[in-house]
Amino acid sequence: MSGWPVEYARRVLSTVDSTNAEAARTATEMTQPTWILAREQTAGRGRRGRVWANPPGNFAATLLLRPTEAPHLTALRSFVAALALHEAFVTVSGRPEAFSLKWPNDVLLNGGKVAGILLESLGVFHGVSYLAVGIGVNLIAAPDPAQLEERAVRPVSLMSETGAHVTPEEFLEALAIAYAAYETQFQTYGFEPIRQAWLARAAKLGEVITARTGNTERVGTFETLDEHGNLVLRTAQGREAIPAADVFF
């Protein structure tokens, strides 16, 4: 690693309720993109308000940004963050073949969920004023599968699957370096290179998957990711672009 990206600030907290909540509380004080890392997080949240367990030694952090793009482009940073996470995992483990990306915002290790991303807009007024990119990683421990919803991908930890013991501070440095590079690419060249890189690491591409939105499920072949970040399925009814869903294998 070449060192911390100078254009990004860093705050390390002993304990906090949620790093995304801390980002919301301090957004107006931000003078540059800022990573907020918590050694202990007492009220972490995942997508759709689900609880995100974070025992000591696991990774909980939020990147606080002040984007200038339209909201639909700002939301594409979930894919930027996913690529940065993938690269950080490869950096600390040396096992590129073990990791893949699950739409819309998870990282898989040997087929199990090792990390998740939660984007939240803050202070919205005529667009997104601030963006919190929350990231949780099972560095040393994974949740009890019995606590998860039916059909959820089994949870795993980096240490249990690879034997790599990585501290949250070490992982943050690898992640921040990777994110800064992908963010520059996104701002310079737009979403297309990010889309292509994400697809090259996608789990179950070309295979049959299930996408559930509310009480509706669609089963089809995962064809691609479109220019808006939508999941594109080939179903019995034809080709369909899905903007938001829970995906099951």
pLDDT tens digits, one per residue of 79-91? 999 999 999 999 9
| Selected residue with higher pLDDT from 49 and 123 | 123
Question: Does residue 122 have a pLDDT over 80?
Answer: yes
CATH 1.10.1740 fits 208-248, yes or no: no
- Residue 5 pLDDT class (50, 70, 90 cuts): very high
Ranges of each domain in the chain: 9-200, 208-248
Please tell me the predicted confidence (pLDDT) of residue 16: 94
Classify 9-200 by CATH class: alpha beta
Question: Does residue 249 have a pLDDT over 70?
Answer: yes
CA distance 88 to 176: 8
Question: Does residue 212 have a pLDDT over 90?
Answer: yes
| pLDDT, the chain, mean | 92
| Nearest in space to 22 (alpha carbons), one of 44, 4, 7 | 44
pLDDT tens digits, one per residue of 223-235? 999 999 999 999 9
Please tell me the predicted confidence (pLDDT) of residue 238: 94
Question: Which ranges in 110-239 belong to alpha helices (H)?
Answer: 158-162, 168-189, 191-200
Residue type, 129: S
Cβ–Cβ < 8 Å for 211, 39 = no
Least confident of 18-32, 46-60, 121-135: 46-60
pLDDT tens digits, one per residue of 25-40? 999 999 999 999 999 9
Least confident of 56-60, 147-151, 242-246: 147-151
Question: Does residue 1 have a pLDDT over 70?
Answer: no
Please tell me the predicted confidence (pLDDT) of residue 166: 97
pTM > 0.85: yes or no:
yes
- Angle between the N-to-C axes of helices 77-93 and 168-189, in degrees from 0 to 180, rounded to the nearest 10: 140
pLDDT tens digits, one per residue of 134-162? 999 999 999 877 666 677 899 999 999 99
Cβ–Cβ < 8 Å for 13, 37 = yes
pLDDT tens digits, one per residue of 92-117? 999 999 999 999 999 999 999 999 99
